[in-house]
Structure 1
Amino acid sequence: MPSRDHQMVLELIRERPALAADLLDCVCKGLVPSTTHARLEPADLSEHKPVSYHADAVVTLGKDRAELAVIVEVQRRRDPQKRLSWPAYVATARARLGCPTVLLVISPKQGVSGWAREPILLGHPGLVLRPLVLGPEEVPVLTDGQAVPVPELAALSAVVHGPGPDGPKVFEALLQCMRTIDADRAQGLMDEVIAVLPRAARDLLEGMMKTATGEYKSEFFRNAVREGRDVGLQEGLQEGRREGRHEGRVDIILAMLSARGVMVPDEARARIQGCADLDQLVEWGRRAATADSIEEVLG
């Protein structure tokens, strides 16, 4: 059964097929047609039984006709069998759709993305398939949410780079970006991101959602949606600010320290949780982003 992070990318592409073009452009500039309309195609690449080929997703790009087909494969581990099936995917899709076809492999793991980039020799002289691979280094580190034109790309950036040292900035950009789209779409994307993040990164993001950046997933917002009231994203954010600024800042400090592997003794934890000075919490949070010990935070 495919894992949740495997399914997340595919769900984003199925919801917005043009995302395949955005991701392809991260790997290979200039390949996407200038006039692009994306359509989700059947991913069944079977020819004749008994051989059956099923790609993760197939997207065609073009306005009036298919100008380019993109086969999307999400790969989380090395699988030698794929080096046999991937060339068949490309050949079959090209024959069926009648347009140039590329293979885009998306891998969140450095070691797997390196393996996926290896050329596949097909035997005939000069006939080599070199998969286009979107690995961690190709996913942009987005730190300015207002400048992100594609919210789904902000979500992928958060998933790939959120657990790293740029986590706070990437999550801040994600939350900024979510404020620019409708609440249902934002909630769906945030649910996907939170579901696949490791524990420390998830705690950090959830803590940030309770601070001044806003917690649009607060109980107030959820209850309002259930009751059918017309509550915009900004109102949910404002309520989140009122409900959880203190708690959220404490959560951010502790999550940052946990992500950096800094031990927090009970006495220090109690001091942080008991601090009522929001400005002091902000300063501790700033120090926690780079601290290697609890003494560097509390001074």
Structure 2
Amino acid sequence: MVSSSHEAMHRIFEKDPGVFARTFRALDLPFPDPVQVSLMPTDLTEIRPLERRVDTLLKIDTLSDDSYLLAVEAQGRKDTGKPASWAYYAAHLHAKYRLPSVLLITCQDKGTATWAAGPFTFGPTYWPTFTVRPLVLGPHNVPPITDPVAAAKDIPLATLSAITHGKDTNAGAILKALAAALKTIDTETAEIFAELTELGLGAAPAAKLWRHLMTVDLAFFRSETSQRLRAEGREEGLVQGRAEDILRILERRGVKTPDTVREQVSTCADLDALDTWFDRALTVTTAEDLFTESTG
């Protein structure tokens, strides 16, 4: 489950990577539609003390066999330290995968978008070593989709439009078009994009309007199916959190934990069993004792 406006901006591309090519086609940039997309590891760390992670990394395959990597970063404000990180991403991706890479920056305001487009040059002015030139999506080039019919034809793009234009004066028309479009698709998918929109809007004034639209116009989000999905999500989070707590307790107590025990705890989906193991983790002398009824 996404948890911030920052994350919502790049998760759209995980839900529908083709929105990238469709958006830039309107700008006459030659990106072909993907025929296959692979979600790649986002950890770009090489040395343990220095951790670097890109928001989303996708491998795009096209009909022309011209594969490339798409690294997506959401940028909420100007940050003079970011271009150096972007340069690192590009160099590391090329060295690791031997594929050309495209750095895509998503922004919610024109000032940040203009700055993020660069180009950023590294090296002395008299002999620059290399230049980083990101592609940028923001309110300056993502079309404002105010027609419900157009929004229904491409809901991921309409969602991106709603988020990037969340601070614009016409945000209301864009959000109303998206709300109407979500009624035309299945509830589960509509709920995903509705929540992405709310998170992506963050603290923008339009967020209040969006919540109102979801309450009044999209009452079906409170359906039995929607409530079941939310309940399942909450339980899944509790299960994962309890498993992590058990392993952390064992670690802090200095109890050696074999990989087999870690796997059994991490893959267990029974919250009652995990609660029992949690209590035992406070007193066991060996990790295997988690699974015995008597811990002595």
Q: TM-score range by the shorter chain?
A: 0.5 to 0.7
Deviation of residue 170 (structure 1)?
A: 0.9
Q: Does the aligned pair in 1 maintain the 2:18–2:33 contact within 8 Å?
A: no
Specify the code of the residue in structure 1 equivalent to 2:101. Answer: T
Structure 1 residues 47 and 18, CA, compared in 2 at 3 Å: closer, same or farther?
farther
**Structure-1 residue corresponding to 2:130:** 127
* TM-score normalised over the length of structure 2: 0.64
Deviation at 1:217, TM superposition (A): 4.0
Shift of 1:180: 2.6
- Count of equivalent residues: 222
Question: Using the alignment, how far apart are the partners of 1:94 and 1:28 within structure 2?
Answer: 26
Superimposed CA distance per residue, residues 124-146 of structure 1 (whole angstroms, 9 cap, x where no aligned partner):
54732222111221221001232
User: 2:162 matched to which residue of 1?
Assistant: 158
The residue that corresponds to 2:85 in the other structure is 85
User: What is the Cα deviation at residue 15 of structure 1?
Assistant: 3.0
How far does the alpha carbon of each residue in 1:97-117 deviate from its partner, in whole angstroms, 9 at most, with x for none?
A: 222111111111222222212
Residue 120 of structure 1 aligns to which amino acid in structure 2?
F
Change beyond 3 A, Cα 1:95–1:102 = same
CA–CA distance in structure 1, aligned partners of residues 165 and 34 of structure 2:
31
Please give the alpha-carbon distance, in whole angstroms, between the structure 2 residues aligned to 1:121 and 1:19. Answer: 29
> 1:115 is matched with which residue?
115
**Structure-2 change in CA distance of 1:48 and 1:167 (3 Å):** closer
CA distance in 1, matches of 2:228, 2:5: 32
**CA pair 17-178 structure 1, distance change in 2 beyond 3 A:** same
Q: Distance in 1 between matches of 2:67 and 2:225?
A: 45
Q: Which amino acid aligns with 1:137?
A: H
Give the Cα–Cα distance (whole angstroms) in 2 for the partners of residues 109 and 227 of structure 1. 36
1:1-299 correspondence runs (5 A): 4-23=4-23, 25=25, 29-30=29-30, 32-34=31-33, 36-63=35-62, 67-123=67-123, 124-125=127-128, 127-148=130-151, 149-195=153-199, 196-198=201-203, 200-209=205-214, 214-217=217-220, 221-223=222-224, 225-226=226-227
Pair 112,74 (structure 1): closer, same or farther in 2 beyond 3 Å? same
Q: Work out the CA distance in 1 between the residues paired with 2:67 and 2:78.
A: 31
Instruction: State the match for 1:268 in structure 2.
Output: none
Alpha-carbon distance between aligned partners in 1 of 2:226 and 2:48, rounded to the nearest angstrom: 49
Worse overlay, 20-29 or 59-68 = 20-29
Equivalent-residue separation in structure 1 for 2:93 and 2:132 (angstroms): 14
Task: String of CA shifts for 1:264-285, please: whole Å, max 9, x gaps.
Answer: xxxxxxxxxxxxxxxxxxxxxx
Give the Cα–Cα distance (whole angstroms) in 1 for the partners of residues 227 and 133 of structure 2: 49
**Residue identity opposite 1:100 in structure 2:** P
Say if 1:58 and 1:71, in contact at 8 Å, map to a contact too.
yes
Three-state SS of the structure 1 residue aligned to 2:223 is helix
Q: For the Cα contact (< 8 Å) 1:33–1:68, is it kept in 2?
A: no
Pairwise CA distance, 1:226: 4.5
Whole-Å Cα distance in 1 between the matches of residues 11 and 58 of structure 2? 13
Larger RCO (alpha carbons 8 Å, 6+ apart): 2
| CA deviation vs aligned residue, 1:47-97 (integer Å, no higher than 9, x gap) | 345444311111111148661211111111222221212111111112222
Q: Within 2, Cα distance between the matches of 1:74 and 1:54? A: 12
Q: TM-score, normalised by structure 1?
A: 0.63
Aligned Cα root-mean-square deviation (Å): 3.0
Alpha-carbon distance in 2 for matches of 1:203, 1:51: 39
Query: Kindly tell me: are residues 34 and 8 of structure 1, through their superposed partners in 2, closer, same or farther at Cα, counting changes over 3 Å?
Result: closer
* One-letter amino acid of the structure 2 residue matched with residue 111 of structure 1: G
Structure 1 distance, partners of 2:40, 2:20, is: 12
